[in-house]
Structure 1
Amino acid sequence: MIEALWRKLWRHRRLLTAGIVAILVAHALAGSSLVVPVGLSLLLVASVLVVGDGENQNGEGAGAAMADDLQRLPAEHLAQAVTDPLILFDRTATVVHANAAAIATFGSLAPGLSLPLKFRAPEMQVLLDNVLSGSVGADSIDYAEKLPVERLYRVSASTVGHGSGLYVLIFKDQSEARRIDRMRADFIANASHELRTPLASISGFIETLRGPARNDAAARDKFLQIMQNQTGRMARLIDDLLSLSRLEMKPYLRPGSRVDLTGTLKAVIDTLTPLAKDNGVVIEREFPDEPTEIPGDRDELFQVFENLVENACKYGQSGGRVVVSVTPGHDGPEPTVDVTVRDFGPGIAEEHIPRVTERFYRIDAESSRAQKGTGLGLAIVKHILTRHHGRLSIASEPGKGAAFTVHLPAN
């Protein structure tokens, strides 16, 4: 301790000397004894230096201790903290360690397993060869897994440290981003097609009216009616596109108000009764007369049920009736209110059911266009229900009609 103190005093000798000189001058001027004050002053200066140096050493020591702890932290603990699949391997491309995410994604990855045998895709072989040969320090590729479901990964490979003889593979799942890109491209293509068809029709009729049918009154009236129908179709499509865009801007914003569900359904049925009569359909009600309140946005829920009831009247008109019912639901962990719109028309084949809520997906394109459908109605329904933390289920058999059930949280 004494030796360490002298070393510290020596390091700060200039400051200490200046302090002693100042003390001596002060006491000489005062004419008092110097022994005790100087001794006390030296002890004070030494303690300040020791404490100050000790604080610096404590800070440096804490940082050094943390660095030592990090160096002693097992590599598998760090690997487990990574949420993406991660595989450590050696110079022979043999698995040394795989984290839980890698095992959950790719199955058994026991130490000693050969990576070229596990991942046989040519691009993976090239990636491993490049990194192991030392031609590159790090590299990345796109890699697709086909089974059990198709997934797309961005795979990065690099060395671990310097001279460790270890390498790492990290798999970043790009499936959702690729799905969104593909959906966006499909959406643009479909929207362009839907708008191009009526525009081509209108352009053709305008050309005919300016040429051969210039003085043909009957043809002119017929073509103008078709042009009016086509412009109406484009207007409906644009309205649905704008509605879908607005919903996508607020998909997870939970409505703060409460809605009388039975009152909303009555308003929907009253609105669509003339359409039902035109199609030879009777809309039947099976719900309680008293109000059924749930959290939600009335305008958006009105749009949901208007879409469903209108579809039932149009595509299920051969059944002659549509039944709208409200029942309590107990299928999930939380209570729900279930609204079912059932028709008795031709029904929907099983292979179409998972896709009917996709944008522009049509079971029968000609029938849909004849009914003035845009192919976006059920996509809008799905987005509104997502915003309301609800869901849509569909049950149907060909020849026995279809039942669309909306499950909405009761609380």
Structure 2
Amino acid sequence: MGTGSGIRTLVAAGVAIAGAIAGFLLGADINAVVVAAVAGLAAVLIAAAGESAEGLSRPEARTAPEPLGVQALIDALAGPVLVTAGTRVACANQAARALLGAHIVDQDVRIAIRHPAAAEPLIGTIDEAGSTTHLVGIGSREQRWDMRVRPLDGERRLVQLVDQTQLHAAERMRVDFVANASHELRTPLASLRGFAETLREEAGEDPQLRDRFLGIMLDETRRMQRLIDELISLSRIEAGKFQAPDAVVALDTLVREVRGAVADLHGGRGRDLNLELAEVPPIKGDRTQLSQLLHNIVGNAMAYGRPGTPVLVELEPAGDMVRLRVTDQGEGIPANHLPRLTERFYRVDAGRSRSVGGTGLGLSIVRHIVERHRGRLEIASTVGVGTTVTVLLPVSRDEPLS
């Protein structure tokens, strides 16, 4: 019994006794006065007992807040997660508020997640296994999400948004890679078949025509061999890119070796190759891959630079990095092509690339080698002036040199 209820009971008992005394003083029979007093006290006690029982059976009504355990649980999850109650958002973690807005709690869930395909699984009928819906455009136009909805108790539902953007991009790259590789191999194979059929039918008896056709066929087989070799090389680099190289390499020495190797290539353009090598500390790297990187960058500059113009190779310290810069004086590359230059098989001018023996994989290989060495790759170009490729690689404090 509460304090207020006890005071009211004592007051009522006092009133009953006072009434009985007043009756006696007014001349009422003593027996009648006693009966009235007892009845009054009994009524007060019965009323007090009933009030106490009712209070026990009817506790004060309270609005149940969202359980703290649910909020703490979804806050521990990295991806966007919401809990809905009916059509409202009951709670949301930080990732969901960052993606959909801080105001979404207590908002209609169909407004919080604005997508035509989301409404039905969010408020419609779902079974115990829940549902998964693919959404495009939540957050940004290019983002892709799997919205997974699972029923909880009562009208509550757990809504989880799983980012599938990178997975979709990887799948698209895989499909494009297979298509491009098939095309790159199909083209020389078609040429080989055509020339072989021609030689078999009528041209085989003409020595000059036969020699010319055989020379073209040999070039096509070499092109296929280069393509296959670079595909294998790219696959190996990608497989090991999460394992940083541990050998120590003197990059200035390696640049001089590469210059000697390419001096007689590219139509005798070796005399146009100029070196400006400052004293630089050794770097930690894979010597074979760094040699391949230099061959690709320097080879591109010699192939696409104008004949007779210099190709400048610079090496200089840059804080805790070593900067390698290769500059040509070619036709340059339009700015809209620059972001895609390191994609597999991407070419600014496919015809010219094939004519100089390019496979479309060179800069992709360079990018993956730089990533494995924890470095940075930058490409700048001005149409009509030329192109500069810059590679920054971290220095090594270890000895001995490789």
Please report the RMSD computed on the Cα atoms of aligned residues, expressed in angstroms: 1.9
Correspondences of 1:209-358 after superposition (within 5 Å): 209-275=199-265, 278-279=268-269, 282-288=272-278, 290=279, 292-318=281-307, 320-330=309-319, 335-358=320-343
Provide the residue aligned with 2:136 in structure 1: 144
CA distance in 1, matches of 2:280, 2:104: 60
CA distance in 1, matches of 2:138, 2:259: 47
Instruction: Say yes or no: does 1:117 pair with 2:111.
Output: yes
What amino acid sits opposite 1:203 in the alignment? R
Instruction: Say yes or no: does 1:86 pair with 2:78.
Output: no
- Checking the alignment, whether the CA contact within 8 Å between 1:152 and 1:175 is kept in structure 2 is yes
CA distance in 1, matches of 2:346, 2:97: 37
Alpha carbons of 1:137 and 1:105: their partners in 2 closer, same or farther (altered >3 Å)?
same
Instruction: Report the 3-state secondary structure (helix = DSSP H, G, I; strand = E; otherwise coil) of the residue aligned with 1:338.
Output: strand
Shift, 1:110, TM fit: 2.7
CA distance in 1, matches of 2:316, 2:232: 32
Alpha carbons of 1:121 and 1:149: their partners in 2 closer, same or farther (altered >3 Å)?
closer
How many residues get paired?
Answer: 331
Provide the residue aligned with 1:97 in structure 2: 91
Alpha carbons of 1:200 and 1:137: their partners in 2 closer, same or farther (altered >3 Å)?
closer
- Checking the alignment, whether the CA contact within 8 Å between 1:144 and 1:150 is kept in structure 2 is yes
Provide, for residues 99-118 of structure 1, a one-character-per-residue CA deviation record: whole Å limited to 9, x for no partner.
11112223334322222223
- Checking the alignment, whether the CA contact within 8 Å between 1:276 and 1:283 is kept in structure 2 is no
Shift, 1:341, TM fit: 0.5
Computing the radius of gyration over CA atoms, which structure comes out larger, 1 or 2?
2
Structure 1 unmatched runs, 5+: 1-70
CA distance in 1, matches of 2:294, 2:235: 19
Give the structure-1-normalised TM-score: 0.77
CA distance in 1, matches of 2:271, 2:353: 18
Runs ≥4 residues deviating over 6 A: none
Instruction: Say yes or no: does 1:384 pair with 2:369.
Output: yes
Alpha carbons of 1:397 and 1:81: their partners in 2 closer, same or farther (altered >3 Å)?
same
Q: 389-398 vs 258-267, which deviates more? A: 389-398
What amino acid sits opposite 1:142 in the alignment? H
- Checking the alignment, whether the CA contact within 8 Å between 2:128 and 2:151 is kept in structure 1 is no
Alpha carbons of 1:397 and 1:407: their partners in 2 closer, same or farther (altered >3 Å)?
same
Provide the residue aligned with 1:66 in structure 2: none
CA distance in 2, matches of 1:284, 1:169: 62
Structure 2 unmatched runs, 5+: 1-65, 397-402
Instruction: Report the 3-state secondary structure (helix = DSSP H, G, I; strand = E; otherwise coil) of the residue aligned with 1:253.
Output: coil
Shift, 1:138, TM fit: 1.0
Instruction: Report the 3-state secondary structure (helix = DSSP H, G, I; strand = E; otherwise coil) of the residue aligned with 2:117.
Output: helix
Shift, 1:302, TM fit: 0.8
Instruction: Report the 3-state secondary structure (helix = DSSP H, G, I; strand = E; otherwise coil) of the residue aligned with 2:313.
Output: strand
CA distance in 1, matches of 2:128, 2:142: 29
Correspondences of 1:70-219 after superposition (within 5 Å): 73-91=68-86, 93-130=87-124, 133-134=125-126, 138-145=130-137, 148-160=140-152, 162-163=153-154, 165-219=155-209
Shift, 1:124, TM fit: 0.8
Give the structure-2-normalised TM-score: 0.78
What amino acid sits opposite 2:336 in the alignment? E
Provide, for residues 349-371 of structure 1, a one-character-per-residue CA deviation record: whole Å limited to 9, x for no partner.
11111110000000100010001
